Amino acid sequence: MALTKGLFINNTKAQDSIYESGLMVFNCLKLSDKYILDYIELSIESHIIPLGYDYYFFNYHPSTMYWLDTGGLKKIPGIIITMILEVLPNDPFVMCPDNHFNGYCVLDPSLKIKNKKVFAFPRPLEIVSNLPLYQENEIPVIGSFGFATKGKGFQHVVEAVNKEFDSAVVKINIPYGDFVPQSKEYATYIGDLCKKKAKEGIRVIITHEYMEKRALIDWCAQNTLNCFLYDRNMPGLAATTDQAISAGRPLAVSQNDTFRHILAYLQPYPKVSLRQSIADSTLSVKQMQKDWSPEVFSIKFEEMLTILFKRQPLINKEAGEFVLPLLKKGLAELIKKRYRKYKRFFSVTKLKQVLASTKRINDEELIRKFVNKVLLPHSQLAYAQSGEDLILAHIFYKEGIPKPTYLDIGANHPAFISNTYYFYLRGSRGVCIEPNPHLYNRIKKIRPGDTVINAGIGINEITEADFYLFPPHADGLSTFSKADADYWDEVGMKNVGKLNYEKVIKMPLITINSVIEKHFDKKPDFISLDVEGLDFEILKSMDYNLYGPKVICVETLLYDQNQNESKNSTIIDFLKSKGYVVYADTHVNTIFTKL
Q: For position 233, what pLDDT does the model report?
A: 65
The pLDDT, as a whole number, for residue 363 is: 34
State which H helix or E strand residue 307 sits in. Answer: helix 294-311
What whole-number distance in Å separates Cα of residue 389 and Cα of residue 417? Answer: 10
Instruction: State the pLDDT at residue 113.
Output: 86
User: According to the model, what pLDDT value does residue 235 have?
Assistant: 63
The pLDDT score that the predictor gives to residue 460 is: 76
Q: Where in the chain is the domain with CATH 3.40.50.2000?
A: 141-281
Please state, as a whole number, how many other Cβ atoms lie within 10 Å of the Cβ of residue 569: 10
- Structure confidence at residue 15 (pLDDT): 67
SS3 137: coil
C-alpha span between 125 and 249 (Å, rounded): 14
What distance in Å separates the CA atoms of residue 525 and residue 532, rounded to the nearest whole number?
A: 23
pLDDT at 174: 93
Quote the pLDDT of residue 377: 38
556-558-563 Cα angle (round to 5): 155
Provide the CATH topology of domain 388-461+511-593. Rossmann fold (3.40.50)
Pairwise CA distance, residues 534 & 484, whole Å:
9
Dist. CA 34–CA 295, nearest whole Å: 12
Q: Which residues pair with 9 in a beta bridge?
A: 40, 58
DSSP string covering 9-63: EEEPP-SSHHHHHHHHHHHHHTT-SSEEEEEEEE-SS--EEE---SEEEE---TT
Q: pLDDT value at position 492?
A: 58
pLDDT string in tens for the chain (595-residue length): 467 899 999 998 876 678 888 998 999 998 898 899 999 999 888 889 999 999 999 999 877 887 888 888 989 999 999 999 888 788 888 778 888 999 999 999 988 888 999 999 999 888 788 888 888 888 999 999 998 877 899 999 999 999 999 999 999 999 886 655 567 888 888 899 999 999 999 999 999 988 888 899 999 999 999 999 998 766 678 888 999 999 999 999 999 888 999 999 999 999 999 999 999 999 999 999 999 999 999 999 999 999 999 888 776 667 788 999 886 554 444 444 444 433 433 333 333 443 444 443 333 343 344 334 433 333 456 778 888 988 998 899 888 898 999 999 999 888 878 999 889 888 899 999 998 888 888 898 889 999 999 998 888 777 888 888 877 656 667 777 777 777 776 665 554 446 667 678 888 999 999 999 999 988 999 999 988 768 899 999 999 999 999 999 999 988 666 667 888 899 999 999 999 999 999 888 999 999 7
Q: Are the CB atoms for 102 and 81 separated by under 8 Å? A: yes
Amino acid identity for residue 379 in this structure: S
pLDDT of residue 494: 52
Tell me which DSSP letter residue 150 carries. T
Assess whether the previous peptide bond of 270 is cis (omega < 30° from 0).
yes
Q: What is the pLDDT of residue 226?
A: 97
CATH number 3.40.50.2000 given to 141-281: yes
Topology (CATH level 3) of domain 4-124+294-328? Rossmann fold (3.40.50)
Query: What integer pLDDT is reported at residue 412 of this predicted model?
Result: 85
- Chain region(s) in the chain for CATH 3.40.50.150: 388-461+511-593
Pairwise CA distance, residues 327 & 372, whole Å: 24
Integer Cα distance of 189 and 187 in angstroms: 5
pLDDT score of 276: 96
pLDDT value for 507:
87
Cα–Cα distance for residue pair 151/172, rounded to 1 Å: 15
pTM over 0.75: no
